[in-house]
Amino acid sequence: MFAGGRGACYDSTKLMRAEIVSIGSELLLGQIVDTNAAFIARHLAAIGLDLFHKVAVGDNVTRVAAALTTALGRADVVITTGGLGPTADDVTREAVAEATGRPLVLVPELLQEIEAFFRTRGFTLSPSNQKQAYIPEGAIPVSNPVGTAPCFIVEQGDRVLISLPGVPREMEFLLSGRVIPYVRERFRLRGIIVSRILRSCGLGESRVGEILGDYMTGSANPTVGTMAHLGQVDVRIAAKAGDEAAARALIAPVEAEIRRRLGDLVFGADAETLEDVVATGLRAREWTLTLLESGTGGSVAERLTGAPGAGDRVQALVMAAEAAQRCLGVTQGSVAEFAAAVRVWGKSDLGSATIIDAPEGEVHATRIGVATPSGAAAHAYRLGGDLRQVRVRASVMTLDRLRRTLATGSA
């Protein structure tokens, strides 16, 4: 950000209202789902802003400007996403200019940043990209190191209007890193909602709900809720307090008791993924891993190599079971033998084999083997659902087996 928020004097006890305006005809044609709005909503809730309306409008200057005028009439903080691109159908700049009565002006620093972004990537700047360096007069420019669409903040009386790009990665980076700190500072927000998410694997959502039933119905602050993904259940503990430390103090005893009840089903917390835990385990033991994936299409490798520090410790053979049997010299064909053989073939400390058999009806027999220097173990499951779901669940179960193996050092 070139300039910080100027922090006027606000009554911090007043209820602060926010509104999100998503811009893009593709939203109104239903061609994309508005995941940005949900991401922004979560971050606004976390700093105690009340979101009363979420609106989507198409790429039409008049309608976007009207939506912004309505939003500025009923919300203290208005956040737009989308319509900041270089093409003719990107109209957010013009609409903000119209709704706030400010002409668009060129910001040389933004132009330089956009030029630098193109230069380092070996592209030439097209004339349409220059448009992205124009923002409403008097707006605070916010540079975008992860893309070419800069964002900007218009302080309009005691209201603020913040325009973010529509590309999720850019929007997320700018919202978390720039916009949320700005809004907290500008409105001196002290109320905060802190969420702690415990991630579990191995039980279904209804079982987890039964184990934690008293918290889910009887606890007002923090609240406890569950969210199911394929093969995983997240438990969210959310506390409201005056500051983060007070919120965390409310969460701590509830988290301790939930961890006690769920035991080693809980593999991590907050943004931690199963693959992160496996990657951490590999680094801690200084182990390498070779995966055999048969039927999962390499999805275990794809997830695991994306985790920090795992890229150079993991390799994989993605192959039909029959071809792998020949390639690895497997004789009996048990999944433990596959795991041990791929471990030797890959010259690694740990080996795993995930084999999904052809379905019988709706059920895919799925075998997972893990081999360490001291031995190998096998696990068998029957997974229902379509192949995509079965792949995801088999990947989750393989990662779960690997993290348990890495925790103890033996399969």
Binding of residue 261 to a second copy (CB under 8 A): no
- Pick the stretch among 136-144, 157-165, 174-182, 287-295 that binds a second copy (CB under 8 A): 287-295
Find the binding residues for a second copy in span 137-176 (CB under 8 A): 146, 167, 169
Binding of residue 316 to a second copy (CB under 8 A): yes
Mind giving me the DSSP string for 304-347?
Answer: HHTSTTTTTTEEEEE--HHHHHHHHT-SS--HHHHHHHHHHHTT
Residue nearer to a second copy on the CB measure, 67 or 278: 67
For the CB of residue 306, give the shortest distance to a second copy in the complex, in Å.
Answer: 6
Using the CB atoms, write b or e for 387-405: b if 16+ within 10 Å. Answer: eeebbbbbbbbbbbbbbbb
Residue nearer to a second copy on the CB measure, 153 or 212: 212
Residue nearer to a second copy on the CB measure, 140 or 310: 310
Binding of residue 237 to a second copy (CB under 8 A): no
For the CB of residue 256, give the shortest distance to a second copy in the complex, in Å.
Answer: 22
Q: Indicate the SS3 state at residue 374.
A: coil
Q: Which two tokens stand for residue 177?
A: 């890193």
Under a CB-based contact definition with an 8 Å cutoff, are residues 216 and 254 in contact?
Answer: no
Binding of residue 120 to a second copy (CB under 8 A): yes
The CA-CA-CA angle for residues 307, 233, 309, to 5°, reads 10
Find the binding residues for a second copy in span 24-63 (CB under 8 A): 25-35, 37-45, 51-59, 63
Under a CB-based contact definition with an 8 Å cutoff, are residues 230 and 389 in contact?
Answer: yes
Q: Which residue of 1, 10, 69, 86 would you call a contact of a second copy, by CB under 8 A?
A: 86
Residue nearer to a second copy on the CB measure, 10 or 381: 381
For the CB of residue 318, give the shortest distance to a second copy in the complex, in Å.
Answer: 4
Q: Which residue of 106, 227, 284, 380 would you call a contact of a second copy, by CB under 8 A?
A: 227
Mind giving me the DSSP string for 39-95?
Answer: HHHHHHHHTTPEEEEEEEE-S-HHHHHHHHHHHHHH-SEEEEES--SSSTT--HHHH
Mask 371-410, x = binds a second copy (CB under 8 A)? -----------x-xx-xxx-x-------------------
The helix (run of H) or strand (run of E) holding residue 366 is: strand 363-372
Find the binding residues for a second copy in span 321-340 (CB under 8 A): 323
Three-class DSSP labels, 131-165:
HHHEEECCCEEECCCCCCCCEEEEEECCEEEEEEC
Binding of residue 315 to a second copy (CB under 8 A): yes
Q: 13 phi and psi, to 5 degrees?
A: -85, -15
Q: Which residue of 4, 138, 204, 333 would you call a contact of a second copy, by CB under 8 A?
A: 204
For the CB of residue 176, give the shortest distance to a second copy in the complex, in Å.
Answer: 13
For the CB of residue 361, give the shortest distance to a second copy in the complex, in Å.
Answer: 8
